[in-house]
């Protein structure tokens, strides 16, 4: 009896083909219990050799550096940075992308939150900034930042994903890029601010109002129409981002947060909300942010980001060192609610293992998933597939394109694949 149990502990249950193991291996601390199986075959992750005494390094011999008013990352962590590109002839119009392959957990640090600016980052004096609420209201109101700060506040952990995230996966051939350039227009933060519903009720909502126009204070005149129901449900005028004032690049001194909606509708540098009977048909919801279909017609007002997931490690640029036990980890999210499950495949979708979901699992936030995988050193195709609590399952790339076509660049949420070659090189592939 006892012998049997030990044998079992030494051989973790396979959960799917090509080396995927039971997710409980990590939850129960089983990785340590299975001993050498938890380590690369050709060596140990931590050195077992007695190294004694430990050397006294130079930084132990003199006092450390003085205080600074605002902390910065380690100078050795310089690679943990955004990458960015600006439109020709501009410096601040374009995107910067989050390095998910170098991060863990669920929150994106403010300095690494992705950015999308249509006309650079405005340098807004918070004392001069105003938020106007007008249109179909009983009494139009103008808020200063100070006035807004006197209202009751609420926090929400929410992802923001640009509608154009992962757009390269609509291309015929897999772009030879990694997680950051392909899927880095996604970030997750704790946003704190005043419920938009509170401000609208303050102004008095005319029963004819069904929509609102939200406008930013940047030079691009970015503005979007949003259903009033969303504003009343869970919209925030966010003033804080992960506990500190919203960064200039993310909308300082205030931004609209519409949890689960495409990034574009989350208007930054918010200066005006106008209640209207119908959508206003701004340039940002007619010429752009519509889904062009094969028949030449476009879908408009596709607000919600559908369930999606992406493996952040292993991923291109992070070569696998040696056969052995690895953790496959990544992020899953849905604009419709909570992530119900994430499955991982190591054989291109032929078989799937349930991944462990890391708590907390929150609606419209990213969820971190983890799956133990024993890589035998041979070829593998890694995929993840998210299901949300509405029952919606992330589609394969081919299913998504069969249904939608590939004439759009928006809302790509198909399954992404990383090919692991003999030798450990990881590449973006289509499976």
Ligand X SMILES: Nc1nc2c(c(=O)[nH]1)N[C@H]1C(S)=C(S)[C@@H](COP(=O)(O)O)O[C@H]1N2
Q: Which residues bind ligand X (CB under 6 A)?
A: 113-118, 160, 162, 187, 216, 218, 220, 222, 250, 263-264, 266-269
Q: Which two tokens stand for residue 192?
A: 């704190």
Q: How far is the CB of 269 from Mo ion (least distance, A)?
A: 15
Which of the listed partners (Mo ion, ligand X, none) does 114 bind, with a CB threshold of 5 to 8 Å by partner kind? Answer: ligand X
Q: How far is the CB of 94 from ligand X (least distance, A)?
A: 10
Q: How far is the CB of 218 from ligand X (least distance, A)?
A: 5
Q: How far is the CB of 412 from Mo ion (least distance, A)?
A: 13
Nearest to 428 by CA among 329, 318, 323, 339: 318
CB of 356 closer than 8 Å to CB of 370: yes
308: part of which helix (H) or strand (E)? strand 308-313
How buried is residue 278: exposed, middle or buried, by Cβ count under 10 Å (0-12/13-18/19+)?
Answer: exposed
SS3 288: coil
How buried is residue 154: exposed, middle or buried, by Cβ count under 10 Å (0-12/13-18/19+)?
Answer: middle
Which of the listed partners (Mo ion, ligand X, none) does 118 bind, with a CB threshold of 5 to 8 Å by partner kind? Answer: ligand X
Task: Using CB positions, name the residue nearest to Mo ion.
Answer: 162
Task: Using CB positions, name the residue nearest to ligand X.
Answer: 216
Parallel, antiparallel, or unpaired for β 270-276 and 131-135? Answer: parallel
User: Considering beta carbons, is residue 263 or 348 the nearer one to Mo ion?
Assistant: 263
Q: How far apart are CA 268 and CA 251, in angstroms?
A: 4
Where does this chain bind Mo ion (CB under 5 A)?
116, 162, 263-264
User: Considering beta carbons, is residue 93 or 334 the nearer one to ligand X?
Assistant: 93
User: Considering beta carbons, is residue 204 or 227 the nearer one to ligand X?
Assistant: 227
Q: How far is the CB of 210 from ligand X (least distance, A)?
A: 22
User: Considering beta carbons, is residue 187 or 417 the nearer one to ligand X?
Assistant: 187
Let me know the angle formed at the C-alpha of 74 by 71 and 76, rounded to the nearest 5 degrees: 160
SS3 9: helix
User: Considering beta carbons, is residue 95 or 312 the nearer one to Mo ion?
Assistant: 95
Which of the listed partners (Mo ion, ligand X, none) does 113 bind, with a CB threshold of 5 to 8 Å by partner kind? Answer: ligand X
């Amino acid at each position: 009896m006892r012998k049997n149990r030990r044998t079992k502990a030494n051989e973790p249950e396979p959960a799917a083909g090509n080396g995927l193991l039971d997710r409980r291996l990590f939850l129960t601390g089983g990785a340590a219990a299975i001993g050498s199986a938890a380590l690369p075959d050709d060596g140990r992750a931590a050195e077992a050799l007695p190294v004694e005494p430990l050397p006294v390094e130079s930084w132990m011999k003199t006092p450390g550096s003085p205080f600074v008013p605002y902390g910065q990352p380690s100078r050795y962590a310089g690679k943990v940075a955004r990458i960015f590109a600006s439109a020709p002839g501009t410096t601040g119009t374009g995107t910067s992308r989050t390095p998910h392959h170098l991060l863990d957990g669920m929150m994106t640090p403010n300095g690494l939150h992705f950015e999308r600016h249509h006309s650079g980052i405005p340098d807004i004096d918070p004392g001069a900034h105003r938020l106007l609420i007008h249109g179909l209201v009983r009494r139009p109101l103008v808020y200063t930042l100070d006035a807004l700060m006197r209202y009751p506040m609420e926090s929400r952990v929410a992802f923001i994903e640009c509608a154009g995230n992962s757009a390269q996966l609509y291309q015929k051939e897999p772009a030879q890029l990694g997680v950051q350039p392909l899927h880095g227009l996604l970030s997750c933060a704790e946003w704190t601010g005043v419920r938009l519903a509170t401000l609208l009720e303050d102004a008095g909502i005319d029963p004819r109002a069904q929509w609102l126009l939200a406008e930013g204070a940047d030079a691009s005149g970015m503005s979007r129409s949003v259903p009033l129901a969303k504003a009343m449900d869970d919209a925030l005028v966010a003033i804080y981002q992960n506990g500190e004032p919203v960064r200039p690049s993310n909308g300082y001194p205030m931004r609209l947060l519409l949890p689960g909606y495409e990034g574009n509708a989350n208007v930054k540098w918010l200066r005006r909300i106008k209640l209207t009977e119908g959508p206003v048909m701004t340039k940002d919801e007619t010429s752009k942010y519509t889904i062009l279909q094969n028949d030449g017609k476009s879908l408009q007002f596709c607000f919600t980001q559908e369930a999606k997931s992406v493996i952040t490690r292993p991923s291109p640029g992070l070569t696998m060192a040696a056969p052995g036990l690895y953790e496959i980890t990544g992020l899953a999210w849905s604009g419709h609610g909570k992530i119900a499950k994430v499955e991982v495949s190591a054989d291109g979708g032929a078989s799937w293992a349930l991944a462990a979901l890391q708590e907390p699992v929150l609606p419209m936030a990213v969820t971190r998933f983890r799956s133990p995988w024993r890589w035998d050193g041979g070829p593998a195709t890694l995929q993840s597939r998210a299901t949300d609590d509405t029952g919606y399952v992330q589609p394969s790339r081919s299913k998504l394109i069969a249904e939608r076509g590939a004439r759009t660049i928006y809302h790509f949420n198909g399954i992404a694949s990383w090919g692991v070659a003999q030798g450990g090189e990881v590449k973006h592939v289509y499976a």
